[in-house]
Structures are given as structure tokens and as C-alpha cells.
Amino acid sequence: MLKKDTKYEILKTTFGHDKFRASQEEAIDAILNKRDLITILPTGGGKSLCYQLPSLMMNGVTIVISPLIALMQDQVNALQNSSIKAQMINSSQDYEEIQETIRQLLAGKIRLLYIAPERLSANGFVQLLKKVEINFFVIDEAHCVSEWGHEFRADYRNLSLLKETFPNTSIAAFTATATHRVQEDIVQSLNLQNPLQLRGKTLRDNLKIYAEQRVGNGRSQLVNFISKFSAQCGIVYAFSRKDVESVCGFLKTKGFSVGAYHAGLPSKTRDKVYKDFIYEKIDIVVATIAFGMGIDKSNIRFVVHMSMPKTMENYYQEIGRAGRDGVDAQTLLLYTKSDDVKMRSFIDDIENNEYKELLYNKLRKMYSYSNSSECRHKLIAQYFDDDIENCEEICDNCKRGEVKKVDITLLCQKLLSSIYRCEQNFGLVHIIDVLRGSKGQKVFQFNHDKLSVYGIGSDISKNDWNAVSDRLFELDAIDIGEHRAIKLKNFGIKILQKKASVEIDEHKMNIKTKTDKKAISNIVHDDVFERFRALRLEIATKNEIPAYIVFSDKTLIDFSQKLPQNRDEALKVNGVGEVKYERYGEDFLALCKEIIEK
């Protein structure tokens, strides 16, 4: 039998925390009472503790179903570093490794076993699980169950069989991204019985969110933003493999410590970049969305999107990878209408009309969010059926305060007239070329240099014309038709007929890079913090584990501020439990004393 420490003792001694975060205790109590559970908490909200802690208080093994190998590896490494008996079975392991894990499982030597959903379909695996005492199942990234979600996976649909095969074993489902509709679908698909349903607040108050229209290729905006984060970890998301290579190469020429990650690279190259990032041999990874879902790295200080994500779910999950340790982090989204057009062209090829319309709708909401002047945290909350007040100062729109409007009705009429004169058969780039009096071959090929609108907007920059078109898209005055041709809609005709006027936020014209250079991370980057950081890296390298698994940035900040002088004081540092103290405490105390003496 297990020693029945209380959940509060385990929280402090094993995980190093003094109190539970929102919803954690309720989730833990539900699991201990063998009740089905679905919990929706933002990335960094502490979902893993909700099932790891009760597992230590129960007899048997906890089976954790997780979609990505990288996520399993991070979780298992962190648990083993806290002296918790965790193992995994996945396709990256050889036959002997898997057999050894099975031997440990049958001998009752594993507390938590991580597996991929497809493992349940493997020959004989369910029969193997029937031979052991399972206290409860965990389904991580549970939104993958739902066809209404953004990352539906067929293997997750098969998890409905768990309740049929193990009717008396409870299931705890967790995700960071689920609307009410997706939440209901998860409950039904998994056959959860009278589950406790917990929804955390979507607001991440340590996350500053910025978005701005991309100027050209966005390189200068990117450099201006990430230059604030000297030797700190960050992720830059780019749209395609080619974009990843290009942005990564550019950042290297600017002296940044950076690696590229995408599905087209050899697996050995990807693994090296991943490990270099985890072990802090490089600061930045430029990647497609193939990178990130499985990252449990807590000290990522920034996330940049070089183009617009396809859904709010993707966006919220990706920016959520920053600041998981609770310390300030920042995100930047660079976008233009061309991102929307590009995404739309991929959706066009989908045959299922219902699913196609669902994706169109998600894309419309993503673009509306990008181009909005409202509080970004509030818009995210509304999307996920949450209700919060304006954030006041942790997004660009709220920091900007009251926005001055500029009348652009005349510019809109010029652009709409150009669309009409070109017979609604051409894309936006061509329309703007006509307005600006371009000498390009295509303009002369179609005799558009002879149109009355040719050159009437030559005094307006391409960026400003894009801002005008973005506003017209936002107002549903124009739309994209077949072959990306721009079409007039009813409201656009009203504007042309001078029956409606149009205003735009002043800051969206004459676009410049507006990232707030004063908004910097609150990490203490003095010599004291850097000495703790160096010690952490030295210990991590010696033990061949990622630095953030030793202690988080938040813990280092607390060390640098409190400078504890004995064991009792060290155990009061956030994130220092008895297990971590036994492993690393003396080294950190020695540094504290050295700093005090000097």
C-alpha cells in the first residue's frame, strides 16, 4: 500500500508549490473520488499536475494517452527527475526498451505510463492492460477527439472504446482549447459518465499580446521585436518550409542563436534542433506548426507568428507556449490579407462542404481578430465562450487607449472603382498596381493603363492600399472569388454610390513598426540572476537534462531575490520541493552564500 500523504504535502514536497492554481484542487478531488472529468485550462495552467499528483496517492498505474512523442519525453523526464516512476511506450523505442517497460508495468513498478492513442489498437495491448491495476485513464489534448475541433485525429475517436473495455475505470480528459460545442463532443465521444466539467479562465495575465500588419516580409519587425530578448528562448512560426529556412538564415546573419525545424528535414536534423533548443544550446527555433505541440519547456519568453494562423485554436495554443512558468512573456502576430487568401485556397480543395464551411468560419474569425482594435485577451475569451473585462495594459490595443479614426471613404471608392473597372477578374496585387500606375507587363497586357483609374492612387503606398483593402474585407464590402479575383459586395457598392462612409484606426495607415520597446520581460537580468542561470545550466549539462527541469526561471528569480541561507529558507523558494532540494539545493545555497559574502 502507498503511504497516504495528503495532497497538500505532495504538492509541496514533490512539486515544490505552496498552493493550488485555479481548478487544480477540484480536478484532483474528482480523480481521487474516481469520477470522470473534463478540464479545460489554458496552456501553462497546470493541467499535468491535476493528474500527476492524484496518481501518487492511488494504488495501481495511471495510463496517460498523449498525441506526441516529444510531449511524452518531456513529461517523463520531468517526472523521473522528481523521483516519480514514469515510463513511456512509443514508436521511437526499440523492441527491448518496450519489453523492459512492459516487464516493469507487470511488476507494478510504474506510477504513470505514457502511450500514444494508436497504441491501444496494437495487437494484444488492451489485453496487456487488463492484467494490471489501472487507477484511471488520462486523455491529454482531448480536443483531438472532436470533429469540431482544430486537430481532429481518427485514433482519438477510437478512445470511445475505453469505457466499453474498462467500464469501472474513470477517465480524466484535459485540453487547453475547446469551445462549448467541442467540450460537449468530447464528453459524448468518450462516453464520460456524469463528468465533473471544469473550465478555467482563458486570460493569461503574464502574456502580452501584440499584432500588426506585416510590412513587406516582416523581417525588420521581427528583429525589432526579438532584439529585446537577449539570450532568452523563443519560437518563431513561419508558414512554409521555405519560409522557415529563409527566416532562419536571415536571423543567423543578424547574429541570433537559431535553428530551423520543419517536417521536410531529416529526422536526425530535427531531433538535433529540438534537443539544442530544449538544452539551451540555441535560443530560438524557427518552425512550421509541426513544432511546438509537444513542448513542455517552461521558460519560452516569446512567440512570433510571421503569418496568420488558420484558426484561433491554433493561435491560442501556440502563443500559450510562451511564459508557461508564470513569468512575463510576449507574443507578436504579423499578418496581411494575403495570409487569409492563401489559407482560403487550401480550404477550397476540401470536398466535404460542411467541414469546408466550418474551416472558412474559423478562418474568418482569425482574420477578424488579427485586424481588430478591441482587447485581444477579451476577443480570445469570447471565442472560447468565456467572459472577461478588457485587459487594460497587456495587449497592444488596450495599451494604445482610445483610437483616433481617419476617414478613408475616398480611398475606398478609388479601390472599389478599380476593382469594377477591371471587371472583378483580378487579384488584389494587380488592382493596387493599376491604382499606383505600375509599369508592370500584366497591366499593359490587359490595357489597364488605359483605364480612368490608372495611377489615381500613385501617392499612396502599397502598405496603405493593403490597409484600405483590409478594412473593406473587414466590413464585408469585398470578397475573394474564383482564382482569387476580388469581387464587390452589396456594402462595397453602397460605398461606391456614396451612400456609406468608411473610417479606419489612424495607426493602421502609414504603417510603421509599432512594437512597444518599453514593454520588456520582468526577468531580473542582473548579474545575480545570470549567476543562478549559469549554475542551472552547469547542473543540467552535467546531468544531461534540460535546464528548465532543474528549476524554472520563476524559481531562479525567487532565488535571486530571497537569497536563502539554509535548507528551511530554500524550501520557501517557489518551485523548490524536498526532492529538488536533495538534488540541487546545496549547490544553490552555496551560490546564495557566496553572493551574500561578496
Task: Compute the chain's Rg from CA coordinates.
Answer: 27
Using pLDDT thresholds of 50, 70 and 90, give the confidence band for residue 170.
very high
- Cα separation, 596 vs 528, whole angstroms: 10
- Cα separation, 148 vs 146, whole angstroms: 5
3-state secondary structure 57-94: CCCCEEEEECCCHHHHHHHHHHHHHCCCCEEEECCCCC
Dump pLDDT digits (tens) for 440-473. 999 999 999 999 999 999 999 988 998 898 889 8
For 168, left (φ over 0), alpha (ψ -120 to 50), or beta? alpha
Q: Which H/E stretch holds residue 238?
A: none
| Burial of 4 (C-beta count, 10 Å sphere; 0-12/13-18/19+) | exposed
In the structure grid, which three cell numbers stand for residue 545, read together?
537534462
Cβ pair 356, 350 in contact under 8 A: yes
- Cα separation, 56 vs 321, whole angstroms: 27
- Cα separation, 22 vs 28, whole angstroms: 12
Question: Shortest CA distance to 427 belongs to which of 367, 487, 376?
Answer: 487
The predicted model gives 338-360 an average pLDDT of 83
* Weakest mean pLDDT among 76-80, 310-314, 521-525: 521-525
In the structure grid, which three cell numbers stand for residue 495, read together?
460605398
Q: Exposed e or buried b for every residue in 565-588, given b needs 16+ CB within 10 A?
A: eeeeebbebbbbbbbbbeebbeeb
Using pLDDT thresholds of 50, 70 and 90, give the confidence band for residue 139.
very high
Instruction: Give the pLDDT confidence score for residue 251 in this predicted structure.
Output: 96
Instruction: Give the pLDDT confidence score for residue 512 in this predicted structure.
Output: 40
Considering the chain, what is the average pLDDT of its residues?
A: 88
Using pLDDT thresholds of 50, 70 and 90, give the confidence band for residue 380.
very high
Cβ pair 573, 555 in contact under 8 A: yes
| Cα–Cα separations (whole angstroms), residue 434 to 194, 359, 441, 457, 461 | 62, 32, 11, 8, 13
Residue 2 has pLDDT above 60, yes or no: no
* Partners of 236 in the β-ladder: 286, 304
- Cα separation, 320 vs 313, whole angstroms: 10
Phi, psi of 588, deg, nearest 5: -75, -35
Structural domains of the chain in order of their starting residue, each with its CATH number: 7-199 (3.40.50.300), 207-338+368-400 (3.40.50.300), 409-501 (1.10.10.10), 527-597 (1.10.150.80)
Using pLDDT thresholds of 50, 70 and 90, give the confidence band for residue 379.
very high
CA angle 307, 321, 76 (to 5 degrees): 135
Instruction: Give the pLDDT confidence score for residue 274 in this predicted structure.
Output: 87
Instruction: Give the pLDDT confidence score for residue 148 in this predicted structure.
Output: 59
Got the DSSP string for 305-337? Answer: ESS--SSHHHHHHHHTTTTTTSS-EEEEEEE-H
Got the DSSP string for 530-578? Answer: HHHHHHHHHHHHHHTS-HHHH--HHHHHHHHHH---SHHHHTTSTT--H
Instruction: Give the pLDDT confidence score for residue 65 in this predicted structure.
Output: 93
Query: Does pTM top 0.75 for this prediction?
Result: no
In the structure grid, which three cell numbers stand for residue 537, read together?
545550466
Residue 161 has pLDDT above 90, yes or no: no
Instruction: Give the pLDDT confidence score for residue 292 in this predicted structure.
Output: 56
- Cα separation, 324 vs 457, whole angstroms: 47
* Weakest mean pLDDT among 352-361, 497-506, 587-596: 352-361
Instruction: Give the pLDDT confidence score for residue 463 in this predicted structure.
Output: 84
Residue 347 has pLDDT above 90, yes or no: no
Question: Shortest CA distance to 424 belongs to which of 323, 500, 371, 496?
Answer: 496
- Cα separation, 389 vs 241, whole angstroms: 39
- Of residues 524 and 114, more confidently modeled: 114
Dump pLDDT digits (tens) for 176-226. 888 888 899 899 989 999 999 999 888 898 999 999 989 889 999 999 999
* Partners of 207 in the β-ladder: 329
- Cα separation, 576 vs 570, whole angstroms: 7
In the structure grid, which three cell numbers stand for residue 49, read together?
499536475
Dump pLDDT digits (tens) for 523-564. 444 678 889 989 999 999 998 888 888 998 889 988 988 899
DSSP assigned state of 499 = S
- Of residues 113 and 476, more confidently modeled: 113
- Of residues 323 and 348, more confidently modeled: 323
For 579, left (φ over 0), alpha (ψ -120 to 50), or beta? alpha
- Of residues 338 and 155, more confidently modeled: 338
Residue 45 has pLDDT above 50, yes or no: yes
CA angle 228, 229, 230 (to 5 degrees): 105
End-to-end CA distance of the chain: 50
* Partners of 503 in the β-ladder: 407
Cβ pair 24, 46 in contact under 8 A: yes
* Partners of 136 in the β-ladder: 62, 170
Which three-class secondary structure state does DSSP give residue 1?
coil
Residue 520 has pLDDT above 50, yes or no: no
Cβ pair 316, 92 in contact under 8 A: no
